[in-house]
Amino acid sequence: MTAPRASARLAAGLLVVLTRLVTGVRAHGPGVAELAAAGVRQRVYFANHTSHLDALVIWSTLPPAARVRTRPVAAQDYWDRPGLRRWVAVDVLNALCIPRGAQAARDALHRLDAALGAGDSLILFPEGTRGDGDALATLKPGLHRIAERHPGVDLVPVHLENLSRILPKGEVLPVPLIGRALFGVAIRLEPGEGREAFLGRARDCLLALRAQCAGGARQAGAAPCP
């Protein structure tokens, strides 16, 4: 990884400020206490995906020390296109672009392995694409493979709330509502746990965070979720 250019670093700082202003997001949830140590531990944040803001929001809520080592995983066909998209994704956020589709799965996993092998943390959306904000799709098996091949890496569930209302799929202009990022406690692959069981458990973690949010946390960001 080459050192980012000054313009990209400046843009990254501006994006963090802008993201916080537009979404009002702060980190909440049972995993917040672990975030302070996020700079030293290698982690994979996996979250529900409803908006282009998702990766930015998680990235912005991380402590700065963790941010420089954390790369959003992005779809190559969408983000690695000439112009603004590539500049934001690749130059500013240092995103790891991977190809989508069954044929390219091996290539995608190799790139994830390489990044994790190099010590990077990742932000991953295991649903594979953006949803409408209501239903949570089943998780793609890539998350299980990462858990299997990198047992020392923390897998941190993150539930993002309201971002589908702030910038839904297909819209360019945001509505500045107050979003939330709920960090759960890190999980790992249990001994003898199969693929389906693990992916189901990971999905349940996201759903549990959402359920916690639906009750107490509708307090407009007041008390942090339990």
Partner 1 sequence: MSVSFDAETLWLIGGVIALLSVASVVGWRLQRRERAGSGQGVDQDVDPSKRAAVIANLNARIRAWWVMIAVFVAALATGGIGSVVLFALLSFVALRELITLTPTRRGDHRALFWAFFVFIPVQYGFVAGGWYGMFAIFIPVYAFLFIPLRSALAGDTQDFLARTAKIQWGLMLAVYCVSHAPALLMLQIPGYEHEGAKLLLFLVVVVQLSDVLQYVFGKTLGRRPVAPTVSPNKTVEGTLYGIGAASLAGAGLWWITPFSPLGALAIALAITCAGFAGGLVLSAIKRDLGVKDFGSLIEGHGGVLDRIDSLCFAAPLYFHLVRFLYT
What mask, x for binding partner 1 by CB under 8 A, covers residues 46 to 75?
Answer: ------------------------------
- Total residues interacting with partner 1, rule: CB under 8 A: 18
> What is the distance, to the nearest Å, from the Cα of residue 126 to the centroid of all Cα atoms in its chain?
9
Nearer to partner 1, 108 or 167 (CB): 167
* Binding of residue 175 to partner 1 (CB under 8 A): yes
| Minimum distance, C-beta of residue 169 to partner 1, in the bound complex (Å) | 9
* Binding of residue 24 to partner 1 (CB under 8 A): yes
> Which among 2-10, 107-115, 150-158, 162-170 is the span making contact with partner 1, rule CB under 8 A?
162-170
Strands 96-98, 121-124: parallel, antiparallel or unpaired by DSSP?
A: unpaired
Nearer to partner 1, 104 or 177 (CB): 177
Confirm if 101 and 171 have CB atoms less than 8 A apart.
Answer: no
Nearer to partner 1, 165 or 201 (CB): 165
* Binding of residue 165 to partner 1 (CB under 8 A): yes
What span, in angstroms and rounded, lies between the C-alpha atoms of 181 and 170?
22
> Which among 38-46, 74-82, 203-211, 215-223 is the span making contact with partner 1, rule CB under 8 A?
215-223
> Which among 56-64, 66-74, 80-88, 212-220 is the span making contact with partner 1, rule CB under 8 A?
212-220
* Binding of residue 132 to partner 1 (CB under 8 A): yes
* Binding of residue 106 to partner 1 (CB under 8 A): no
What span, in angstroms and rounded, lies between the C-alpha atoms of 192 and 208?
23
Q: Which two tokens stand for residue 165?
A: 């209302």
* Binding of residue 178 to partner 1 (CB under 8 A): yes
* Binding of residue 84 to partner 1 (CB under 8 A): no
